[in-house]
A and B are shown apart, each in its own frame.
Chain A
Amino acid sequence: MENLPDMTGYIMQGSKYILPALALWVLLRCLRSMLRERYEPETWAYLVDLNGTEHPVNHWECIVGRSRSADIVLDDPTVSRMHASLQRDGDGDWTLTDLRSRGGTYVNGEEAGAWESVGDGDEIDFAAEATAFREISGAERERLERRRSAPGRSVGPGVTLLILSLFQAFLALEFTVTADGEHLYSICLAFFALMAAEWFCYLFMRTLGRTGFEPETLAFFLTTLGLEVCATSTPEDMFKEVVLILAGVALFFFLGWWLRDLERVKRTRWLAAAAALGLLALNLAMGEVRGGSMNWLELGGFTIQPSELVKVCYIYAGAATLDRLFARRNLFGYIAFSAVCVCALALMGDFGTAVIFFATFLVVSFLRSGSFATVLLAVSGAGLAGFLVLSVKPYIAQRFATWGHAWEDVWDAGFQQTRAMSAAASGGLFGQGAGEGWLKDIVAANTDMVFALLSEELGLIIAVTAMLAVIALALFAVRNAAQGRSTFYVIAGCAAVSLMMVQMGLNVFGSLDILPFTGVTFPFVSKGGTSLLSCWMLLAFVKATDTRRDASFVVRRERRRVRADEREAYPEDYDGDGDYYDEGEEELR
């Protein structure tokens, strides 16, 4: 070692500029791959009209009508704007529901009500517009599938992951210079474990024949930053952090696999709602007060934040399939459920999470109803509730009073915000180096002020890249909405990314005195076990929206129409074609 006395300086100087470049490179590659690649819709069946025009059925849930916003537009004056809905269930059976149209809907001459079963060759009349339903054969579907482009052709996910690994390697290298000797080993091991985990995921996906890896790459990028935060602030917790990351990834796979089966999901939505309410009730009954809010629960030696897990249940229960969107009753049920959740959180004093839930509620209820009136009603109701909270909880009112005036009270109310801003500014664009900051020693630096901690140690570029990574996930989910199979996946995906963005906004801008300081976590980056687990689970919802060919393991490949009678004889996804045999299926099951 005596021969290399000057290396440390070179390492710190070099990696200082290399890290932001690699981070941006990873982000840009993911963005390009997610947003620039061609997205072609899947095709499931056709409606053939009398002229012989084939109207493709591109989703599992379609609205047939005259309106331009219908999925299948029939341009006949007798057809109602929203005439009927055509839905496919997870087993591949199609049903037709008349949406109280004026001219009525007829299947093979008989008037259709709700859940009328339709199959290949059936004649469907939408008022005066006569069509035939033609389902796609397995061979034709294969042919159509092959024409769709799969992700990973123009931007190789493996290369992106390689760049991310390089980023992690340089970060670990910086720690070899700055970290205490006693923690050095565990820090390096943790980064190595993270690399191993991401490559295992990648190779596992490849064995499943799935090539879309951008959301995971972004999540692993953010998790890397989370590992940096842990390494600099609490290096003694590295082992725990890695275990949590692995657990998060495992839960991601589990929930993703669970979401594959839409029927199963539909059946269990009420369970998720019950779990959400149960967790909140448990929290209210046995919760522990930490840092002003009672959102901690001690269970068998582990402390968890139930409100973090409720987020996942809340989205799971809140998203809905198309048929449910037409019943007002369902929306009111959802509003009541949301109100209970938000009130429970307010009671706990977890004001930040209540705001996150409320924002997510707004997004979901807008996606479900499309009605600004409902949303406005909710906002005014929440405004009233917020006013109540402010008057009941003095410490929250205090935070509002400090908002925008942090520098006037640097030793009390503005303590954290001013430290955060000072540290963030001192990092410049490239940072002082991993482990070289002073903010890490301030309480809650690794959770509430994590944006500032990143800015100080890794620089503004990487901190902003972290924000952009979350926004990229959102762009991805929104773009995928066009090709979603079911509204459930679209709503859940959009709700998950909205939740992440709101949470990130509150975290970042709260610490920078642009919003009131609420003390919520930065998705994937902030230290906090339950939060990390819930973020990985939320990612599964994003993954479920990706219907590009062979992109996402959450989206099942449907090669051939499997008839109900055949299902007895063959495994569900066996299609007799070796090339397309879904190898991972058995493992996942």
Chain B
Amino acid sequence: MKKVQRRAGSALLIALLLMAGLALYLVRLADDGGAWATYFTGGSPAGQIVDRNGALLYSSDGQSASFAADEAVRRACYHVTGDTRGNVATGALSQFRDSLMGYSFVSGTSSGKTLRLTVDSSLNAVAYEALAGRDGAAILLDYTTGEILCMVSTPADDPQNPSAEPADGTYINKAIGASFVPGSVYKLVTLAAAIDNIPDLFERSFWCGGSAQLQGITLQCTGSHGSQTIEQALANSCNCAFGEIALELGYDVLLEYAEKLGITAQLELDGMEVRRGSLDWESEDMDIGLAWTGIGQHNDLVCPYALVRYVAAVANGGSVYEPTLLGHGELDRQTELLSAGTASKIASMMDYNVEAAYGEGTFPGLDAAAKTGTAEVGDGTSHAWMTGFLNDPEHPYAFVVLVEHAGGGRVNAGPVANALLQAAVAASPAQADAAQ
């Protein structure tokens, strides 16, 4: 009997295996429960999505969904909200489904939650209208909190009445999900590397004769700028000066700064992967290729999100609260991109740009600092860029505007940026109320 009794313990091995299996399940459940629970709920999970002022962007009882009443707002917020067919993968309906459905490990799903986003749908509408049917993207964020107030991508669709044959690029949120040739806005990145690595940068003068010969190949400039300080070179957006700087820094330093400033890093917005930018220069591309790399041409690609994040750091003294659409419950961790000294130098130079080159009329009544970009795409057209921020503690906004194939940066992206900033400043008292 005793023998059999001892052997009987072998049955407990099965019990042990069962417990191990159960433990494995519980771990998986804790990890992926939210994704599992919300997988089969269809495109219109019950709940509401509202903007920072409480304006309704999406509402559903689980069966039928409705969006904002105004079609312009619906289109302007198309990429932020997402659609019921799951075409916009980066939309809140896809990305923040867990919080919308109120999933938690303890209580499972509980329908009818309200998800509040940091965007202001009326600012989105302003940006959308200012883009006026052109393709592009715009982001405006509060650089003291990281909250994204406006994020628009065009072309957009109406989520209430989705089009059967939408225009190319409709489902992509270009603000975070695509990268573009940056052109001269990229000089801000090269500039940061130059300030840190060229000790006598501010004592030097840069000569521009309208073009430069690099190993026998001509580097064309936007004008003939003569002798300039670095401030003037940035304001003139002088290719000769920045080509010279790029050659002096070398590709490795350019790469290092692209990574460090987040241009080519893998960034995340509330858990969503943001499109990475890229630089690509080989030695057979010769000096001319390296010079253009520093100027934001050649093979450079930048995501608007990465650029505005960098500019926000410049405005915020070198560090940035990671941008968010959901809000940071508590502001705790900043990411340091560059030193406070470098940041303040770049900030004052961007200030000087507006003052000296773009003219106060670009942003009437606003104390703005900015940099334009006119990125040659290669098909004869140019992307128009404008990025910058307001030097105003009441309205600490950083922005980026991209208008594809639109031509000059100041002329085409500038007015969109101005419209957006003016609306943001005008709207901010309401925003302050809402925050209370």
- CB-defined contacts of A59 to chain B, threshold 8 Å: 1
Quick check: B21 and A481 within 8 Å, CB to CB?
no
Q: Which of B1-50 contact A (CB under 8 A)?
A: 1-12, 14-15, 17-19, 21-22, 24-25, 28-29, 32-34, 36-40
- The answer to whether B58 has its CB under 8 Å from any CB of chain A is no
Report the separation of the CA atoms of residues A527 and B34 in the bound assembly, to the nearest whole angstrom.
29
- The answer to whether A491 has its CB under 8 Å from any CB of chain B is yes
Q: Which A residue sits closest to B39, measured CB to CB?
A: A422
Quick check: B8 and A504 within 8 Å, CB to CB?
no
Quick check: A475 and B12 within 8 Å, CB to CB?
yes
- CB-defined contacts of A366 to chain B, threshold 8 Å: 7, 10
Quick check: A70 and B4 within 8 Å, CB to CB?
no
**Chain B interface, number of residues (Cβ within 8 angstroms):** 38
Q: Which A residue sits closest to B40, measured CB to CB?
A: A422
Expressed in whole angstroms, the minimum distance between the Cβ of B21 and any Cβ of chain A is 5
Residue A63 contacts which of B2, B18, B32 (CB distance < 8 angstroms)?
B2
Q: Which of A34-83 contact B (CB under 8 A)?
A: 58-59, 61-63, 69-71
Quick check: A410 and B107 within 8 Å, CB to CB?
no
- The answer to whether A95 has its CB under 8 Å from any CB of chain B is no
Report the separation of the CA atoms of residues A464 and B26 in the bound assembly, to the nearest whole angstrom.
10
Expressed in whole angstroms, the minimum distance between the Cβ of B56 and any Cβ of chain A is 26
With A425-B108, A430-B107 already in contact, the answer to whether A478 and B11 are too (CB < 8 A) is: yes
- CB-defined contacts of B104 to chain A, threshold 8 Å: 428
- The answer to whether B109 has its CB under 8 Å from any CB of chain A is yes
With A427-B108, A509-B25 already in contact, the answer to whether A471 and B15 are too (CB < 8 A) is: yes
Quick check: B29 and A481 within 8 Å, CB to CB?
no
Residue A432 contacts which of B7, B24, B103, B108 (CB distance < 8 angstroms)?
B108
Quick check: A63 and B108 within 8 Å, CB to CB?
no
A108-116, A260-268, A336-344, A495-503 - interface stretch: A495-503
Report the separation of the CA atoms of residues A471 and B17 in the bound assembly, to the nearest whole angstrom.
11
- CB-defined contacts of A429 to chain B, threshold 8 Å: 105-108
Quick check: A63 and B15 within 8 Å, CB to CB?
no
Quick check: A508 and B21 within 8 Å, CB to CB?
yes
With A425-B34, A467-B22 already in contact, the answer to whether A367 and B107 are too (CB < 8 A) is: no
The count of A-to-B residue pairs whose CB atoms sit within 8 angstroms is 133
Report the separation of the CA atoms of residues A322 and B2 in the bound assembly, to the nearest whole angstrom.
11
Report the separation of the CA atoms of residues A514 and B25 in the bound assembly, to the nearest whole angstrom.
8
Quick check: A61 and B109 within 8 Å, CB to CB?
no
Q: Which of A463-480 contact B (CB under 8 A)?
A: 464, 467, 471, 474-475, 477-478
Report the separation of the CA atoms of residues A427 and B33 in the bound assembly, to the nearest whole angstrom.
10
With A370-B7, A426-B109, A429-B107 already in contact, the answer to whether A478 and B40 are too (CB < 8 A) is: no
Quick check: B4 and A481 within 8 Å, CB to CB?
yes
Quick check: B37 and A422 within 8 Å, CB to CB?
yes
Quick check: B11 and A494 within 8 Å, CB to CB?
yes
- CB-defined contacts of A370 to chain B, threshold 8 Å: 3-4, 7
Quick check: A425 and B37 within 8 Å, CB to CB?
yes
- CB-defined contacts of B106 to chain A, threshold 8 Å: 428-430
Expressed in whole angstroms, the minimum distance between the Cβ of A84 and any Cβ of chain B is 14
Quick check: B18 and A471 within 8 Å, CB to CB?
yes
Quick check: B8 and A481 within 8 Å, CB to CB?
yes
Expressed in whole angstroms, the minimum distance between the Cβ of A75 and any Cβ of chain B is 15
Q: Which A residue sits closest to B1, measured CB to CB?
A: A59
Expressed in whole angstroms, the minimum distance between the Cβ of B5 and any Cβ of chain A is 4
- CB-defined contacts of A471 to chain B, threshold 8 Å: 15, 18-19
10 inter-chain pairs at a CB distance below 8 angstroms, sorted by A residue, are: A58-B1, A359-B14, A367-B7, A422-B37, A424-B36, A425-B36, A429-B105, A430-B107, A481-B8, A498-B11
A370-B3, A425-B29, A459-B108 provided; 15 other pairs, C-beta below 8 A?
A69-B2, A363-B11, A425-B34, A425-B108, A426-B36, A428-B108, A429-B108, A430-B108, A432-B108, A471-B15, A471-B19, A474-B15, A475-B12, A481-B5, A490-B8
